[in-house]
Amino acid sequence: MYAEPGIIRKIIEETGDTWALVGLSSNRQRAAYGVAEVLRRHGKRVVPVHPKAEAVHGEQGYARLADIPFPVDVVDVFVNSGLAGPVADEAVAIGAQAVWFQLGVVDEAAYERTRAAGLDMVMDRCPAIELGSMRARNARGGRPVGEPLA
């Protein structure tokens, strides 16, 4: 499992609302674009990080995490697994509180480094799917207090 019990819920509900999406561009056909829309609907500020540094959903884009001139709470990674480790290291360097590797993005060494640096981390999961699961649980009356989401 690539998320400790309760970490998914903690990142979504308790870790700040500024999410940098690495790999987010204006291409509506890419998964990152749809996930960004879901996060925005749930009150998150979504900051695009892409080499083109283009604006997406009305938010200024940046070429690198280090270029963002304000604090980032969560770094959500939409790049392939071979590139994800350095992004996690950058997230640590900028002082993010959490890193989220999307579905199919797996780098166990990066997971260990990131956790060792004190950040929360989820790997091979999608926050849009997790938000939907959380919403469905809440509609059914929720879960017992203290029961982990993940």
Query: Quick one: which of 83, 92, 88, 21 has its CA closest to 57?
Result: 21
Taking the model in full, what pTM does it have? Answer: 0.88
pLDDT above 70 (res 110): yes
Q: Using one digit for the tens of pLDDT, what is the confidence trace for 17-36?
A: 999 999 999 999 999 999 99
| Mean pLDDT, the chain, whole residue set | 90
- Tell me how far apart the alpha carbons of residues 118 and 38 are, in angstroms, rounded to a whole number: 27
Tokens 């083109």 appear where? Answer: 52
pLDDT bin (cut points 50, 70, 90) of residue 133 is: confident
